[in-house]
Amino acid sequence: MYNNMDDLIADWENKILYLSHQIDELQRQLVNYQSLLEEKDRYINQLLNENEQLKGRIQDNQQRYVSPSYSVSTSQPTLHPPPQFKSSPQSQAPQINLPKISPTGTYSTDVGFIKRQCPNCGASGFAIKEVDDKNRILSYIPRRIYAKKRVCTKCRFEF
């Protein structure tokens, strides 16, 4: 196979040189991967700290907004008293201000106008379509009646 010993030595030296280059390249990759791993660990620690802060804020908000009169025990929660209406000599029935629905699909209250608007992209008006929500059946008799859901025709967001 080999004619002389010099050819055998030259072949082994070439293999050793090739393998030493491969070792150097793998060591460079190892250093690169170790730096990526350290960066990932720093990012994970940052996210864990942020998660702990957000959990603390959630607990603070829950404690702030929980009514002190409501408890999970067997005691009854306190209820608001029924509203007292002033009777006028003109009518015996109280006057209640209900929202007035306009032909454009918006409704008004004493505060102002509220339009149907996509919460995702902000489109309003004719861009919002009402379709049957086949996942929520309201009645089977006399025929199937489905709940309605709104779909934005611009971004296809369903709400």
Tell me if the pTM is above 0.75. no
Q: 44-67: string of b/e by CB count within 10 Å (b at 16+)? A: eeeeeeeeeeeeeeeeeeeeeeee
Per-residue pLDDT tens, the chain, 159 aa: give them: 556 788 888 889 999 999 999 999 999 999 999 999 999 999 999 999 999 999 988 888 888 776 555 445 555 556 666 666 555 555 555 555 555 555 555 544 545 555 788 999 989 888 999 999 999 999 998 899 999 999 999 999 998
Whether 136 contacts 146, CB under 8 Å: yes
Q: What are phi and psi of 35, to 5 degrees?
A: -70, -40
Task: Give the domain-ending residue among 64, 79, 101.
Answer: 64
Is there a domain that residue 73 lies in?
A: no
Number of structural domains found in the chain: 2
Tokens 């960066």 map to which residue?
A: 39
Q: Which domain holds residue 60?
A: 1-64
